Amino acid sequence: MNDIISLNLEDQIGLLETKKISSYELTTLYLENIKENKDLNCFISVNEDALEQAKVIDNLKDRQSPVQGIPIAHKDIFCVKGHRTTCGSKMLENFISPYSSTVFEKLENSKTIMLGKTNMDEFAMGSSNETSFFGKVKNPINPLKSPGGSSGGSAAAVKANLCAFATGTDTGGSIRQPASFCGITGIKPTYGRVSRWGMIAFASSLDQAGIFARSALDSAIALEIISGFDEKDSTSINSKVPNLKEETTSEMEHSIGVPMQIIEKIEDVNVKNNFLESIKILEKNGFKTKQIELPFLEYSLPSYYVIAPAECSANLSRYDGIKFGYRCDNPKDLEDLYVRTRSEGFGEEVKKRILIGTYCLSAGYFDAYYIKAQKIRAMITESFKNAFKDVSVIAMPTCSNGAFELGSIQDPVKMYEQDIYTIPANLAGLPAISIPSGNTEEMPLGLQFIGNHLEEGKILNISHQFQKLTDYHV
Amino acid sequence: MKISKDTLKNISLLSKLEIEKSMKEKITKELESILLMVDQMNEVDTDHVKPMSHPLSKAQNLRKDLVSEDIERDEYIKNAPQSDDGYYLSPKVIDQK
């Protein structure tokens, strides 16, 4: 019976459709496994109504959606009406959402069962899951290692079979890096493809919701559900969502762009060889590859660490201790209330980013930092635009290393460097996916495909074809 | 980039954050190392480039200004740390003379 929880989505859907298993039974199995794996600390809260909901769904006369009755997990950044949404912070420890995010609603309307809400770095700021107020998440493959961040709880939950798939968010790599560390598939779609309504904001021009699953095909099924125009999000794209499952499995020719100048600079020999090996597998099976240049890509990290903190400092100004969230005890006046609420409610990493953002936006520094970073962002986007004239997808490693030991990275810049290969897609708003491509020192490595705007189908297709040729994902 | 004591004081004031005395040196060092990394941007000539604020350089969508749902005041105010009869409570901001 326990094998059922590790089946891919299509097989689980098949069992539900033929009534070989009920949603109630499937939900029970996942809840039991969540309990057994409590030590991984994947969940901040477990949904007490999950079994009741499964019962209701089992009693529906017909199937209204492909994922009907599938138990899933949501990153605790998505507001769910009547449920606690903490964003991994003491600031929102007791916050009960008065409305639901579009991502949650779309999956709820598709009759999925929410098992619970997953742990994450505080306000999605971190690459190791160590900044969560609710404690770090452990990597299911080796509990001494980090699951990556910020969506580490969702990634670890999928890997440990605590849910069929999970939602996540990616501002600079927060889906792809944990997917890589946990050996699963994680996709961040085009900026604007999925509504940000009800998703707690970190850096609004970079934040994008996506999916963690066991394969590219599973991701395609789930991503299609959460995608689509939403008038509640002013940056949502009004473009038809294609049938992603069909695009993923269709016959598609690819020309894969490989930025050799970047690959040659990879310091970790295992990571470099693993990437080149993946490219060889594709070439051997008839896929065309092409060397490309992506000028200015090395300036992604500095540009990101101005833009993201600047937007974070503005977004997080809403936490004032008045309307919702934490408030300090016995404030002596309004200023004292603001300062102590924020100083006590935010963790160290969040405070650091607010300070950096405030510095970059302050009088006298705005042009030198913020405008300069936005200009570099434009140049990086242009680099991609030019590259996509010749190729259909771009391949890169997801991360410059495998999962590191929890507590082993103390230097903030070293931690930020975790995202050097993932940040460029966020800056340019491009869709990108990470799929397992092998191991280094017994921990998984990820292969990343970046696509042109709105071309999620192409990166899902090449990922699916790679997964048909390899078994790193099973 | 060096962060002076005054700069740290100014940005924490603007951020409404208090930095504990024992943390000041560590935070200053970390902020300096982040800004040092950020300063690599200066190697790039960006003179004739237009800054980009939106990944798809589109104008933002605006929806029709119509009531879409009723907001339950009591539901929202339940999250307030302190409230009274539908009002948010804060420390007194107007002095009584």
Render pLDDT for A232-267 as a digit per residue (tens, 0 to 9): 999 999 999 999 999 999 999 999 999 999 999 999
Q: Is A297 left (phi over 0), alpha (psi -120 to 50) or beta?
A: alpha
Residue of A132, A150, A151, A313 marked catalytic: A150
Tell me if A107 sits within 8 A of A198, measured CB to CB: no
User: Bridge-partner residues for B84, per DSSP?
Assistant: B87
What local confidence, expressed as pLDDT, does residue B97 receive?
62
Question: Which residues on B lie below 8 Å from A378 (Cβ)?
Answer: 49-52
Residue of A132, A174, A180, A303 marked catalytic: A174
pLDDT(B61) > 90: no
Render pLDDT for A357-379 as a digit per residue (tens, 0 to 9): 999 999 899 999 999 999 999 99
Q: Residue range A320-345: average pLDDT?
A: 97
What does the alpha-carbon distance between residue B63 and residue A235 come to, in Å, rounded to a whole number? 11
Render pLDDT for A401-422 as a digit per residue (tens, 0 to 9): 999 999 999 999 999 999 999 9
**Residue A174 known to be catalytic:** yes
User: Bridge-partner residues for A73, per DSSP?
Assistant: A116, A166
What does the alpha-carbon distance between residue A325 and residue A345 come to, in Å, rounded to a whole number? 9
pTM for the whole thing?
0.97
What local confidence, expressed as pLDDT, does residue B21 receive?
94
B86 touches chain A (CB under 8 A): no
Residues 310-369 of A with CB under 8 A from B: 313, 317, 320-327, 331-340, 342-343, 346, 348, 351-352, 354-356, 358-360, 362, 369
DSSP-derived 3-state class of residue B83:
strand
A420 touches chain B (CB under 8 A): no
Residues 41-70 of B with CB under 8 A from A: 41-44, 46, 49-56, 58, 60-63
Pick from A201, A157, A128: nearest CA to A38: A157
Test A334 with B54 for CB contact under 8 angstroms.
no
Mutate to test the interface with A, among B46, B93, B96 (most CBs of A within 10 A): B46
Q: What is the ipTM of this complex?
A: 0.94
Question: Which residues on A lie below 8 Å from B58 (Cβ)?
Answer: 235, 237
Q: Residue range B69-78: average pLDDT?
A: 86
DSSP-derived 3-state class of residue B52:
coil
pLDDT(A39) > 70: yes
Mutate to test the interface with B, among A355, A369, A419 (most CBs of B within 10 A): A355
What does the alpha-carbon distance between residue A134 and residue A117 come to, in Å, rounded to a whole number? 12
* More confident position, B56 or A456: A456
Test A379 with B15 for CB contact under 8 angstroms.
no
Test A342 with B27 for CB contact under 8 angstroms.
no
Q: Residue range A280-294: average pLDDT?
A: 97
Question: Which residues on B lie below 8 Å from A340 (Cβ)?
Answer: 18
Structure tokens at A268: 């970790």
Instruction: Please give, rounded to a whole number of angstroms, the shortest distance from the CA of B97 to a CA of chain A.
Output: 17
Test B37 with A303 for CB contact under 8 angstroms.
no
What does the alpha-carbon distance between residue A387 and residue A409 come to, in Å, rounded to a whole number? 34
Question: Which residues on B lie below 8 Å from A423 (Cβ)?
Answer: none
pLDDT(B70) > 80: no
Render pLDDT for A112-169 as a digit per residue (tens, 0 to 9): 999 999 999 999 999 999 999 999 999 999 999 999 999 999 999 999 999 999 999 9
Rounded to the nearest 10 degrees, the angle between the axes of helix A300-315 and helix B21-38 is: 130
What local confidence, expressed as pLDDT, does residue B63 receive?
85
Test A205 with B15 for CB contact under 8 angstroms.
no
Question: Which residues on B lie below 8 Å from A342 (Cβ)?
Answer: 15-17
Test A237 with B37 for CB contact under 8 angstroms.
no
3-state helix, strand, coil in chain B (%, to 5): 40, 5, 55
pLDDT band of residue B65 (cuts 50, 70, 90) is confident
